[in-house]
Amino acid sequence: MTQEDQLLSHPAIKDGWFREISDAHFPGQAFALKVEKILHHSRSEFQDILVFKSTTFGNVLVLDGIIQCTERDEFAYQEMIAHVSLYSHERPKRVLVIGGGDGGVLREVVKHHSVESVTLVEIDKTVIELSKKYLPSMSVSLNHPKVKVELCDGFKFLKDASYLESKEKYDVIITDSSDPEGPAEAFFEQSYFKLLYNALNENGIVIAQASESIWLNINYLKSLIKTAKTVFLNTQYCSTLVPSYTSGQLGLIICSKRNDLDVTKPCRKPLPEEQSSMRYYNPSIHSASFVLPTWANSLLNKD
| Superfamily (CATH H level) for 74-301 | Vaccinia Virus protein VP39 (3.40.50.150)
pLDDT of residue 183: 47
pLDDT of residue 190: 86
pLDDT of residue 73: 98
What confidence tens digit (pLDDT) does each residue in 5-28 have?
446 889 999 999 999 988 877 788
Catalytic residue among 64, 124, 176, 179: 176
Residue 176 is among the residues annotated as catalytic for this protein: yes
pLDDT grade for 2, boundaries at 50, 70 and 90:
very low
Percent helix, strand and coil across the chain, each to the nearest 5:
30, 30, 40
If you average pLDDT over residues 72-88, what whole number do you get?
A: 98
- Is pLDDT of 4 > 70? no
CA dihedral sign, ordered 151, 157, 163, 165: positive
pLDDT grade for 211, boundaries at 50, 70 and 90:
confident
Sheet containing 17-21, strands listed edge to edge, beginning at the edge strand earlier in sequence:
13-14, 17-21, 30-43, 48-54, 59-63, 66-70
Measured N-to-C along each axis, helices 218-229 and 294-301 cross at an angle, to the nearest 10 degrees, of 40
H or E stretch including 77? helix 74-86
pLDDT of residue 3: 42
pLDDT grade for 35, boundaries at 50, 70 and 90:
very high
CA–CA separation, 25 and 37 (whole Å): 26
Q: Find the range with the poorest average confidence among 76-85, 135-144, 240-249.
A: 240-249
Residue 111 DSSP SS3: coil
pLDDT of residue 253: 96
Q: Do the beta carbons of residue 96 and residue 172 sit within 8 Å?
A: yes
If one counts every other C-beta atom within 10 angstroms of the C-beta of residue 16, the result is 9
Q: Compute the chain's Rg from CA coordinates.
A: 19
Q: Find the range with the poorest average confidence among 68-72, 214-218, 299-303.
A: 299-303
CA–CA separation, 105 and 120 (whole Å): 9
pLDDT grade for 167, boundaries at 50, 70 and 90:
low
User: Strand pairing partners for 281?
Assistant: none
Share of the chain above pLDDT 70, in %: 92
pLDDT grade for 1, boundaries at 50, 70 and 90:
very low
Comma-separated ranges of CATH 3.40.50.150 domains in the chain: 74-301
Running DSSP on this structure, what letter comes out for residue 148?
A: E
> Average pLDDT over the chain, rounded to whole?
91
- Is pLDDT of 187 > 90? no
**pLDDT, greater one: 160 or 162:** 160
pLDDT of residue 302: 77
pLDDT grade for 178, boundaries at 50, 70 and 90:
low
Which amino acid, one-letter code, is at 29?
Q
H or E stretch including 171? strand 170-176
Q: Do the beta carbons of residue 253 and residue 239 sit within 8 Å?
A: no
pLDDT of residue 220: 87
pLDDT of residue 8: 82
Comma-separated ranges of CATH 2.30.140.10 domains in the chain: 3-70
Running DSSP on this structure, what letter comes out for residue 283?
A: H
CA–CA separation, 181 and 250 (whole Å): 17
Per CATH, which fold does 3-70 belong to? Spermidine Synthase; Chain: A, domain 2 (2.30.140)
